[in-house]
Structure 1
Amino acid sequence: MKTIEIDDTESVLTTLVDDALNGNRCVITRHGEHAAVILSYNEYRRLEQAVPSLGWLLTTAPLEEDDLPVRKPARCRLLEL
């Protein structure tokens, strides 16, 4: 994977996009720290769809009634008004 400083990206942006379309990602750094990644839109969509939402995981989990521990009742403080 190619790495390039953010200050140097303006002059080679077209090349970076062409590389991404050919499957070659590029890491953009700022002050020596990783800041962003250039990748093709198709790869981005593939990665985005690869991670299921928590809601989907909970609703489709093959859990039986006794798989999860029983919740303890919440402790409530009595307030004087």
Structure 2
Amino acid sequence: MKTVQLREAKAGLSALVAAAESGKPTIITKHGEPAAAIVSVEDLQKLYPAKHRNFGEFLLTYPGGIELERNESPSRDVDL
């Protein structure tokens, strides 16, 4: 795994992105300490899999059913 300083990463970002796409991640250091990493989207999705792809799927994963009771009493009169 390649390691570069932040200023080098800024100057050669396109090359680092191309390397990440081909499966070669890069660690970026700041003041000599690891601060970030550039990895491919495929590797990122392996690390952080999407639990829910859309809101509809999220709602369908609710573990229990929702039972709602409707209040059948008539609405009150309002003077406008």
Question: With structure 2 as the length reference, what TM-score do the two structures score?
Answer: 0.59
Higher CA-based Rg: 2
RMSD, matched Cα: 0.7
- Structure 2 stretches of 5 or more lacking a match? 50-80
Q: Which amino acid aligns with 1:13?
A: L
Q: In the alignment, which residue of structure 1 is the partner of 2:38? A: 38
Distance in 2 of aligned mates of 1:40 and 1:17: 8
Q: How many residue pairs end up in the alignment?
A: 49
**Runs of at least 4 residues off by over 2 Å:** none
Query: Unaligned stretches of 5+ in structure 1?
Result: 50-81
Q: Select the structure that is richer in helix.
A: 1
Q: Secondary structure at the match of 2:4?
A: strand
Counterpart for residue 48 of structure 2: 48
